[in-house]
Structure 1
Amino acid sequence: ALSGGQRSRVLLARALYRQPQILFLDETFDQLDLAKERTITDGLRKTGIGLVIVSHRPETVGAVDRIVRLGETTAVSSQLAA
């Protein structure tokens, strides 16, 4: 049986095989340690694929270009990341 992190990496590899223009990643990295997450996100950035990442993890949110915070039904704020 695969661990949660291994399962995430297999699903990501399957998505990349299709050569998408945009990837929507919803809590994809929550089962990975930070070093593996950083390696994967650095590799994804080099591909030029657009990424929409949903995460509660501060380290993941800190590695993006733009942050959109959502409320109950609408976007509460949008800002360029530092």
Structure 2
Amino acid sequence: SDEEHVLLLTQHHIVSDGWSLGVLVRELSQLYRAFVAGEGDPLPPLAIQYPDYAAWQRQWLSGERLQRQAQYWREALSGAPSML
């Protein structure tokens, strides 16, 4: 309705730890208060964006390190159900 709204947020459990949920609630609260007051985004710009992290991780996880990790998971998951 014009007076009542519902926010439904569905998250995988891997991104829903206590610390992350605290950040989410705090930032959503700040954003909502600013929106209600007609103000702009009150959150500071992030120093690093996800693509920056992904690029760093891709660079870090390459070559011999990638081969070791891949071999570890092949061994760890050998015999696991094919649907997994």
TM-score by length of 2: 0.29
Higher relative contact order by CA 8 Å / sep ≥ 6: 1 or 2? 1
Task: Decide which structure has greater strand share.
Answer: 1
Q: Could you say which structure has the larger radius of gyration?
A: 2
